[in-house]
Amino acid sequence: MKIHPSAVIEPGAELGRDVEIGPFCYVAARVTIGDGTVLGPHVTILPYTTLGKGCRLHANAVIGDLPQDLAFKESETFVRIGNQCVLREGVTIHRGTKPGTATELGDQCYLMANSHLAHNVKLGNQVILVNGVLLAGYVEVGDRAFLGGAAIVHQFVRIGRLAMLGGGCGIGKDVPPFCTTVPFENNAILGLNVVGMRRAGLTPGQRLEIKRCYHLLYRSGLNLLAAQEKIKAEFTSPQALEICAFLAASRRGICLLGRTRWIKRKDDEAEDA
């Protein structure tokens, strides 16, 4: 264990094996830091925060501060961060707002500089947030989603697995799994995250079925309920069922197809899924 002499570690903080804590860090009581985690300079970890194993926090990250919620009453709420997560410079993550609730990150998440997670946000595994992403309270992000720089997501919105948000977009409705959004526009779907699906190991057959589901959802002219029923009737793969379950659970509605100037119709029709 390596702790810089200028760091402040309050009694009651629990540090795992081989933890490294850099200059001018502050680790409060009721903090748990997993084995092999490294805190760079000027990192602040506040009460009721748990960091998993092998995490790396860069300069000026602040984790576990009080939620920015006027309804918050001082109580035990939490931040729980999984294993092997990287939080770059200036990342801020706030505690849950209702008693006993938490803001949670899965394993191997990568949060780039100055991204922010408000109270009760939940990230799956291997989620990537590019610089300046802002997630409001109760946002949920599925595994391996990629959120482009300066994307802004409204409270209670859900981002599906392997979705990709274009840089600078504003999202106030749910983004279905595997979909991408239009950069610098609001609530606009661009197409499918084909590269992300390939990298995740989805087979050509699985990608083709997702593409057909996408066409029923966005190109068939059917309303959301009718498209969902047709997807369930025609496809039985786990990916199709995942899309249907996501749609069925939507409370804010889903993003709609973006303006045609962003849609490469020829590529979308001919592209190898």
Closest CA to 258 of 171, 178, 177: 171
Q: Are 121 and 205 part of one and the same domain?
A: no
In this structure, the number of other CB atoms found within 10 A of the CB of residue 220 comes to 12
- Calpha distance 119→264 (Å, rounded): 38
Q: Are 26 and 118 part of one and the same domain?
A: yes
Q: What percentage of the chain carries pLDDT values higher than 90?
A: 93
Over 90: is that where the pLDDT of 267 sits?
no
Q: Are 32 and 129 part of one and the same domain?
A: yes
pLDDT in tens, 19-78: 999 999 999 999 999 999 999 999 999 999 999 999 999 999 999 999 999 999 999 999
Q: Is residue 160 in some structural domain?
A: no
Q: Is residue 249 in some structural domain?
A: yes
Q: Is residue 12 in some structural domain?
A: yes
Closest CA to 95 of 104, 108, 84, 83: 104
Closest CA to 140 of 155, 121, 162, 154: 121
Q: Are 12 and 133 part of one and the same domain?
A: yes
Domain that holds residue 260: 198-270
Q: Is residue 191 in some structural domain?
A: no
Q: Are 23 and 121 part of one and the same domain?
A: yes
Q: Of 107, 122, 138, which residue is a domain's last?
A: 138
Q: Of 138, 171, 187, which residue is a domain's last?
A: 138
Do 16 and 34 contact (CB within 8 A), yes or no?
yes
pLDDT in tens, 142-186: 999 999 999 999 999 999 999 999 999 999 999 999 999 999 999
Q: Is residue 151 in some structural domain?
A: no
pLDDT band at 259 (very low <50, low <70, confident <90, very high): low
Q: Of 116, 138, 160, which residue is a domain's last?
A: 138
Q: Is residue 68 in some structural domain?
A: yes
Q: Are 8 and 132 part of one and the same domain?
A: yes
pLDDT band at 269 (very low <50, low <70, confident <90, very high): very low
Instruction: Supply the pLDDT for residue 265.
Output: 46
Domain count, the chain: 2
DSSP assignment string, the chain? -EE-TT-EE-TT-EE-TT-EE-TT-EE-TTEEE-TT-EE-TT-EE-SSEEE-TT-EE-TT-EEEEPPS-TT--S---EEEE-TT-EE-TT-EEEPPSSTT-EEEE-TT-EE-TT-EE-TT-EE-TT-EE-TT-EE-TT-EE-TT-EE-TT-EE-TT-EE-TT-EEPTT-EE-SBB-TTEEE-TTSBSEEEEE-HHHHHHTT--HHHHHHHHHHHHHHHTS---HHHHHHHHHHH--SHHHHHHHHHHHT-SS-BPEE--GGG--HHHHHHS--
Q: Is residue 156 in some structural domain?
A: no
Q: Are 129 and 213 part of one and the same domain?
A: no
Q: Are 107 and 204 part of one and the same domain?
A: no
Instruction: Supply the pLDDT for residue 193.
Output: 98
Measured CA distances, 137 to 65, 69, 152 (Å): 14, 9, 12
Q: Is residue 118 in some structural domain?
A: yes
CATH number of the domain that residue 11 is part of: 2.160.10.10
Rounded to a whole number, what is the distance in angstroms from the first to the last CA of the chain?
49
